[in-house]
Structure 1
């Protein structure tokens, strides 16, 4: 049966991260299809909001005229793809690590990369009051403990290539941050804040990265589309075509830089696990 032109495309997003309100705050009444610049005006990580915008631009450029309807879901995250595999959902509104879905390619279409290998950089965040660790040199990383979730495979592999002492914890991100706050662990891996000082503020508590050290996450990130959903192939074709156009225009690179995802403030910081990257890949610079 032909799909009506005015039917929307339902896209799942996380409820817990309050993406909907942050997304509308960023747009401030502007059309996502008309945005050319991506500077943050919201607190916290900005990349999830930018991905929601780029997703719509890519689909539109790829010939998909239907609007997107973002549907908050409490169980949608980068490790749960059951709804996509079953065909109950067509698309997740943010990118996922290639490593996480490499065994699911029989059920999922995998888009062109939104984030290339070597572009994703993160800091080892400690509490701001822990002044002693803020200038820790790389050769003393074996003296600190870092909490990490082994189910976050890319983070886990990157940290396993450092001399840090890992604390394995399977649970919410917020609980891991509490472990740092309560000195159960010294640090956790967090993508760099968009604030001028790189300070991350969470529920009134402040965290800062260890100065001059950054961790490269050695994988690419992609949108994934359900193969079983009746609309999946059509959506995927439009998405991939549009992503290629956005890349050729330089829009994706500009969005990643202007949003602070590729953070100019850490451009000259030392990548402590650079040996993990292929020799022909540089860290997003």
Structure 2
């Protein structure tokens, strides 16, 4: 009998090894390479230090780590394999709705999936409402804009993509002038570089100076001001995938435990996503935040 139990355990482990959990990821980004560089040979389950090893945005890598740790804590112990998929992007959920994709490696804005809740499970928030802050980035060479005052913001022209609804809502609740542009993020940066517009809204870089470097060009945030993007971010799981309900249950159990242990807040803070350097900067769209009731 003991031999039979041992044999069943071995067979079970082999089945898990040959039946990995497939998690889709955007193929047009270099997340997979940056993820491996961040791990530096560590098991993802052993990661307790979330400080970045590269410049630029780090939140995508942290989400890949938190996703796997949450799944494991929730009881889903299979190996996670990331599947770069051209059809996966931040606004297109066709594969999720059809059940062809099980889960995404990135969180999404709640507003972007609110109309799809019949087709996707929405996890507890990873980034809570009010935690996502961004700066108004201008070309570093454009020295005149670096110290723009709050009154001077009204004179600025910013490029924004109206399909990025949370960004768009935040900006339309400011006094800055907007140029609507539906196209790649890289093209928007180029518009800043070539003075077609003054700047654009970008989540803060993890570099010590908050400077963003892209293709040999440097961008910096206007000092002293920031915007809060008024929404929360969540993982989503397909309801139509055969494993959807099981994976979602494990994911949410794990996220609750990570939140209870303080790991999510620690990860967002150490990664620079919740950026201590801008803690005292003025929120220029504060009116969009929930107001404390007056006594």
- Say whether the fold is shared (TM-score over 0.5): yes
Corresponding residue for 1:265? 277
RMSD over aligned CA atoms reads 1.4
SS at match of 2:213: strand
Q: CA deviation at 1:224?
A: 0.3
Output the CA distance in 1 between the equivalents of 2:151 and 2:173.
Answer: 14
Distance 1:231 1:199 in 2: 42
Counterpart CA distance in 2 for 1:43 and 1:19 is: 13
- After TM superposition, give the deviation of residue 43 of structure 1 in Å: 2.1
Shift of 1:123: 0.3
Partner Cα separation in structure 2 for residue 212 and residue 50 of structure 1: 26
Q: Distance in 1 between matches of 2:125 and 2:63?
A: 12
Report SS of the residue matched to 2:106.
coil
Aligned to 1:187: 199
- Residues 80-89 or 66-75, more deviating: 66-75
Query: 1:88 aligns to what SS in structure 2?
Result: coil
Counterpart residue number, 1:99: 111
In 2, the alpha carbon distance for the partners of 1:111 and 1:280 equals 26
Task: State the 1:5 CA deviation.
Answer: 3.0
Q: What is the match of residue 275 of structure 1?
A: 287
Partner of 1:251: 263
The range that moved more, 39-48 or 247-256, is 39-48
Equivalence map 1:1-285=2 (5 Å): 4-6=15-17, 7-280=19-292
**Deviant stretches of 4+, over 3 Å:** none
Structure 1, residues 180-216: CA drift from partner, whole Å, max 9, x if none? 0111110000000000110000011000000000000
Compared CA separation, residues 241 and 280, structure 1 to 2 (3 A): farther
Larger Rg: 2
Structure with the largest fraction of helix = 2
Distance 2:90 2:253 in 1: 23
Alignment partners' CA distance in 2, 1:104 and 1:74: 21
2:6 aligned partner: none
Shift of 1:74: 2.1
Alpha-carbon distance between aligned partners in 2 of 1:30 and 1:231, rounded to the nearest angstrom: 28
SS at match of 1:11: strand
- Residues of 1 paired with 2:71 and 2:288: CA distance? 33
Whether contact under 8 Å (2:16, 2:79) holds in the other structure is no
In structure 1, stretches of 5+ residues that fail to align are: none
Shift of 1:280: 4.4
Tell me the TM-score normalized by structure 1. Answer: 0.96
TM-score under structure 2 length normalisation: 0.93
- In the alignment, is the contact (CA less than 8 A) between 2:51 and 2:271 conserved in 1? yes
Deviations 1:218-245 (A, max 9, x none): 1000000000000111000000000000
